[in-house]
C-alpha cells in the first residue's frame, strides 16, 4: 500500500463539521443566536473548513493571520497559507456583537444556517486595507505597477471586485459547521471530502497523486496534461470546482459530463479519479495556484499540475507566473507548516499538425502556424458565438455535450479574449 502525503499543517485533517447528536444540539442552539449573512465565497470557505479541505484552519482568520498571509504567505503561527480566508460583516452588525459572543452564519440564498462561530476578534477593513489585500494577492506580472493594476482591476478583475465589495468589518474565530449546503445532493458521486478521496487513493495503492484543477470543460490540452501526470505518478485526481464562477463560464454539471465522456473513452479508468470541491474561483492566478496545492495536499495529492496561466483572468498574470511562484515561497522548518504538495510544471501545450499529435514548447520545433492553440476561453467563445471549432481542439464527445448546452441558452454572455487565450 502506498503512503499518501500528510495533510497540510501537521495536525491531520482538522474537520469542523458536526455530526449526529452534537450536530442536532448545535442546530438547536444556533436558532437562538444572532444571524450574520455570509457571501457565496464565505460559504465555500466555511464548507472547506468543515470537511478538512482547509486544514489546518479551524475558523476565519485574525488580523495578524490576514496581514501575515498577504505579506509573507504565513499565518501568525508560521504556517504557510497563500490567500486570506476571512469573514466580513457590516458596521451595524459588528457594533451589536461583542468579542467572545457566539453567532450563527446564515446563507440567505438557501435560507439555511451553515455554522456557528465564536467571535474572538473584530477588525475593520478600510478601503486602504482592501486595496492592500488586492495588491498583495491579486497583482501579478501582467500589471507590474499598482497604477497599471488599478486602471483595470476594479472593473475587470472578479477577485478584486469581490474583495472591494466586502463589508466593513472582519470577524475572526473558530467555527462549528452544520451543513455542506447543496453539494452532497446536487453533486452526489462527484462532491468528495478529503477523508473520502484519501480512502479512494489508499484503496488503489497510490502514494504519488497529481491533481488537475478544472474550471473549464476538459479540452485536449487538459487531457494531455493528465496523461503526462499518469506517466510519472500513480494516478491523477481530476478535481473540478463546483462552486460559483464568473458570467460566461460553463456550469459544473456540464463540465462533469464532459470529464465523464473523456475518462470513459480516452483514459485507463483505474488511473484516474474524478472529484469536485465547493469553492468559488478567486481568479488570483499564482496565489490561487498555491492555494490549489495547499488544499489538494489535504485531499491526498502530492503534486499539483500547473500549466499555462493557471487560475488567471484577463492579462493580469504572467503566462507561467503560477509556476515560478512556487520557487519563491517561504519554507517553514517546523514540521507540517511548509507546503508539501509540489508543482508538476508543464509548458504550453497544443496540437501540432507537423508532429501529428499533442506537444509542448519543450518538445515541438515547429511554428505557430502549425499549431492549434488550446484555451478554455477560446473554446467558450467559439461555442457561444456558433463559430467552427478547429480540428483537434476537443474530443467530439465533449464538443457534442457543449454544443447541446449552448443551444439551450436563452441569453448569451460576451466572452472576452486575452493574450493567454489567443497565444499573442
Cα separation, 104 vs 175, whole angstroms: 9
User: What was the pLDDT predicted at 323?
Assistant: 97
User: What was the pLDDT predicted at 360?
Assistant: 94
User: What was the pLDDT predicted at 163?
Assistant: 97
Per-residue model confidence as pLDDT tens digits over 123-145: 999 999 999 999 999 999 999 99
Whether domain 20-125+166-179 has CATH 3.10.400.10: yes
User: What was the pLDDT predicted at 419?
Assistant: 55
Per-residue model confidence as pLDDT tens digits over 397-420: 999 999 898 888 877 656 555 455
User: What was the pLDDT predicted at 380?
Assistant: 75
pLDDT bracket for residue 250 (50, 70, 90):
confident
CATH topology match: 20-125+166-179 vs 185-422: no
Helix (H) or strand (E) holding 42: helix 40-51
How far is Cα of residue 90 from the mean position of the Cα atoms in its chain?
26
Is 36 in contact with 93 (CB distance < 8 Å)? yes
Per-residue model confidence as pLDDT tens digits over 40-72: 999 999 999 999 999 999 999 999 999 999 999
User: What was the pLDDT predicted at 421?
Assistant: 46
User: What was the pLDDT predicted at 276?
Assistant: 95
**Neighbouring-strand partners of residue 343:** 304
Lowest mean pLDDT among 121-130, 137-146, 157-166, 373-382: 373-382
User: What was the pLDDT predicted at 1?
Assistant: 45
pTM score: 0.93
How far is Cα of residue 321 from the mean position of the Cα atoms in its chain?
17
Higher-pLDDT residue of 3 and 388 is 3
User: What was the pLDDT predicted at 416?
Assistant: 56
Is 310 in contact with 271 (CB distance < 8 Å)? no
Q: How far is CA 348 from CA 35, 65, 260, 303, in A?
A: 48, 35, 25, 18
pLDDT bracket for residue 296 (50, 70, 90):
very high
| Catalytic residue set | 215-216
Coil, strand or helix at 98: coil
224 pLDDT higher than 70:
yes
User: What was the pLDDT predicted at 424?
Assistant: 54
- CATH of region 185-422, choose from 1.10.1040.10, 3.20.20.140, 1.10.760.10, 3.40.50.620: 3.40.50.620
Domain boundaries of the chain, sorted by first residue: 20-125+166-179, 185-422
Report the mean per-residue pLDDT for the chain.
93
15 pLDDT higher than 70:
yes
Cα separation, 216 vs 212, whole angstroms: 11
Cα separation, 282 vs 302, whole angstroms: 23
377 pLDDT higher than 80:
no
**Neighbouring-strand partners of residue 387:** none
Cα separation, 313 vs 317, whole angstroms: 8
Q: Across the chain, which distance is largest between two alpha carbons, in Å?
A: 68
pLDDT bracket for residue 249 (50, 70, 90):
confident
| Strand order, beta sheet including 357-360 | 357-360, 349-352, 371-373
C-alpha cell at 141: 506580472
User: What was the pLDDT predicted at 215?
Assistant: 83
Residue indicated by cell numbers 476565519: 60
Helix (H) or strand (E) holding 184: helix 183-186
Amino acid at each position: 500500500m502506498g503512503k499518501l502525503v500528510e495533510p497540510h499543517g501537521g495536525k491531520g485533517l482538522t474537520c469542523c463539521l458536526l455530526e449526529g447528536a452534537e450536530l442536532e444540539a448545535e442546530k438547536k442552539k444556533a436558532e437562538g443566536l444572532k444571524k450574520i449573512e455570509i457571501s457565496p465565497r464565505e460559504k465555500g470557505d466555511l464548507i472547506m473548513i468543515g470537511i478538512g479541505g482547509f486544514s489546518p484552519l479551524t475558523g476565519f482568520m485574525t488580523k495578524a493571520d490576514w496581514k501575515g498571509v498577504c505579506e509573507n504567505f504565513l499565518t501568525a503561527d508560521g504556517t504557510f497559507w497563500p490567500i486570506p480566508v476571512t469573514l466580513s460583516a457590516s458596521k451595524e452588525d459588528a457594533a451589536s456583537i461583542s468579542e467572545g459572543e457566539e453567532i450563527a452564519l446564515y446563507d440567505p440564498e438557501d435560507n439555511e444556517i451553515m455554522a456557528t462561530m465564536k467571535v474572538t476578534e473584530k477588525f475593520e477593513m478600510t478601503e486602504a486595507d482592501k486595496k492592500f489585500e488586492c495588491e498583495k494577492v491579486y497583482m501579478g506580472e501582467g500589471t507590474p505597477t499598482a497604477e497599471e493594476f488599478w486602471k483595470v482591476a476594479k472593473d475587470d478583475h472578479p477577485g478584486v471586485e469581490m474583495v472591494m465589495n466586502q463589508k466593513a468589518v472582519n470577524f475572526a474565530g473558530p467555527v462549528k459547521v452544520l451543513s455542506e449546503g447543496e453539494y452532497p445532493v446536487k453533486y452526489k458521486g462527484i462532491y468528495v471530502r478529503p477523508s473520502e478521496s484519501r480512502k479512494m487513493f489508499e484503496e488503489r495503492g497510490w502514494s504519488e497523486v497529481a491533481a488537475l484543477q478544472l474550471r473549464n470543460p476538459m479540452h485536449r490540452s487538459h487531457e494531455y496534461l493528465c496523461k503526462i501526470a499518469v506517466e510519472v505518478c500513480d494516478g491523477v485526481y481530476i478535481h473540478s470546482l463546483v462552486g460559483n464562477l464568473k458570467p460566461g463560464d460553463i456550469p459544473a454539471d456540464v463540465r462533469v459530463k464532459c470529464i465523464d465522456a473523456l475518462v470513459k473513452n480516452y483514459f485507463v479508468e483505474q488511473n484516474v479519479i474524478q472529484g469536485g470541491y465547493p469553492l468559488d474561483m478567486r481568479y488570483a492566478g499564482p496565489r490561487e495556484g498555491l492555494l490549489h496545492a495547499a488544499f489538494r495536499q489535504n485531499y491526498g495529492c502530492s503534486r499539483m499540475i500547473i500549466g499555462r496561466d493557471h487560475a488567471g483572468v484577463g492579462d493580469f498574470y504572467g503566462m507561467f507566473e503560477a509556476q515560478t511562484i512556487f520557487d519563491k515561497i517561504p519554507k517553514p522548518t517546523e514540521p507540517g507548516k511548509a507546503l508539501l504538495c509540489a508543482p508538476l510544471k508543464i509548458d504550453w501545450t497544443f496540437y501540432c499538425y507537423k508532429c501529428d499529435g499533442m506537444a509542448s514548447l519543450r518538445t515541438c520545433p515547429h511554428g505557430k502556424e502549425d499549431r492549434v492553440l488550446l484555451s478554455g476561453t477560446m473554446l467558450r467563445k467559439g461555442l457561444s458565438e456558433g463559430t467552427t471549432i478547429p480540428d483537434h481542439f476537443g474530443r467530439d464527445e465533449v464538443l457534442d455535450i457543449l454544443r447541446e448546452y449552448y443551444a439551450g441558452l436563452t441569453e448569451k454572455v460576451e466572452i472576452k479574449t486575452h493574450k493567454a487565450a489567443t497565444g499573442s
